[in-house]
Chains A and B, each alone.
Chain A
Amino acid sequence: MSSITRRLGVMGQADVDVLSWRDTIVAAGGSISIAILSIASRFVAAEKASGAWGLTDDYWPFWGENLIQATVSLKQRRTVTLVNAPAFTARRHFATNGSSSYLDTGFIPSTHKIAASTHNVRLAVYLRDNLSSNSYAAGASSSSNRALRLRPRNASVAYLDANSSSGTYTLPAATSAGYTAGSRDAALGANSYGYKNGVAMVQTVAPTAFGSASLPVVPILVGGYNNAGVFAGPRATSIGFMTVGATLSAAQELAQYNAVQAWATAVGANV
């Protein structure tokens, strides 16, 4: 047992999943401070307490202390590939340029899902910038309705595709900054949801077509989306955090936002 593990164990803050994340980061040549181990452990504890941990398939804390830490996902511990030089700022975000730089998570929804399913899926992003643009923060699409992707702000609305055609949701404030989630738990417009900072948004246009064969079969990209293997819909954005999994309840949405915001605040990345 390492000295860090012993110290966190004594403090009652070491989470076994966070220690596995740490081990992957260290094996990849990165490092992680005791402070971040503690912050991440509190985050995971909050997720487990709300039940969101079991419903979420993976988490990407892009606001890592160093590049390696920021490129290892928290739960499935996949390594992100940085394509065409997205800019990394420690303890803040990755910034994409809206034309050619992006992140490839390697997470293929149809094959890497655990809690998610064809008709129960959710994608959420924490953005640190405000941009009105009909472009995508993240996503993957295998056909027009097998699309899991987020357009966090175009004027006063967000377009959210949860393995479906787009649903339109009114933003509570006209900004893309903050935590935006899109989900659905059945093949119905009424079962499609949008949340901003843990609060349900008003759905103004319901999705009308739903992917039924599977979830997308290509990896989720960040800073645009994966259009059947081609980078598309690029967005100039600063992304600090992302999750994918199954639909959360309203209470779990709020609990997850509070936990994400606590992590953001602890590293100075909160907006």
Chain B
Amino acid sequence: MPGFIVLSADEAAHVRGPASPPYALEPIERQGGVFILPADVLDHPAYAMHAEFLAARPQMDSADPSFPPALDPAED
């Protein structure tokens, strides 16, 4: 299952925004006030400017029972 970097609101604000064009980072808010990014960004050259900062943040697997749920389940 895919791995994710877990960020606080302040950490999310630190990395949010344009990266190397045409890429950008926009951490996704989850329940509990935490934010996630796919771990894929760690090895992506477009996000190299944030690699060291993001590598120091905790990671979780989406299959982990404690993985923070989405804010909005898909609507009917």
A residues in contact (CB < 8 Å) with B = 67-68, 71, 79-85, 87, 97, 99-101, 104, 133-136, 151, 166, 227, 230-234
A87 to B44, CA, bound (A): 10
Kindly list chain B residues whose C-beta atoms are within 8 Å of the C-beta of A87: 40
- A99 near B38 with CB under 8 A, answer yes
Kindly list chain A residues whose C-beta atoms are within 8 Å of the C-beta of B29: 230
- B22 near A231 with CB under 8 A, answer no
Flag whether B75 is at the interface (Cβ < 8 A): yes
- A97 near B38 with CB under 8 A, answer yes
Q: List B42-76 residues whose CB lies under 8 Å from chain A.
A: 44, 46-47, 62, 70-72, 74-76
A194 to chain B, nearest CB (A): 17
A49 to chain B, nearest CB (A): 32
User: What 10 A-B pairs are tightest by C-beta distance, nearest first?
Assistant: A134-B74, A100-B28, A85-B40, A82-B23, A71-B22, A233-B74, A85-B41, A83-B26, A232-B72, A85-B44
A209 to chain B, nearest CB (A): 13
B residues in contact (CB < 8 Å) with A = 2, 4, 18, 21-29, 36-38, 40-41, 44, 46-47, 62, 70-72, 74-76
Q: A81: which of B2, B22, B36, B74 is its contact (CB, 8 Å)? A: B22
A-B contact pairs, 14 of them (CB 8 A): A81-B22, A84-B27, A85-B38, A85-B47, A97-B38, A99-B2, A100-B28, A100-B36, A101-B40, A104-B24, A134-B74, A134-B76, A135-B74, A232-B72
Kindly list chain B residues whose C-beta atoms are within 8 Å of the C-beta of A234: 70
- B75 near A99 with CB under 8 A, answer no
**Given A84-B38, A99-B4, A99-B62, A136 and B24 touching (CB < 8 A)?**
no
Kindly list chain A residues whose C-beta atoms are within 8 Å of the C-beta of B74: 133-136, 151, 233
Beyond A71-B22, A99-B36, 10 additional contacts (C-beta under 8 Å) are A81-B24, A82-B46, A84-B27, A84-B41, A97-B2, A100-B28, A100-B36, A134-B76, A135-B74, A233-B75
A151 to B25, CA, bound (A): 25
- A83 near B4 with CB under 8 A, answer no
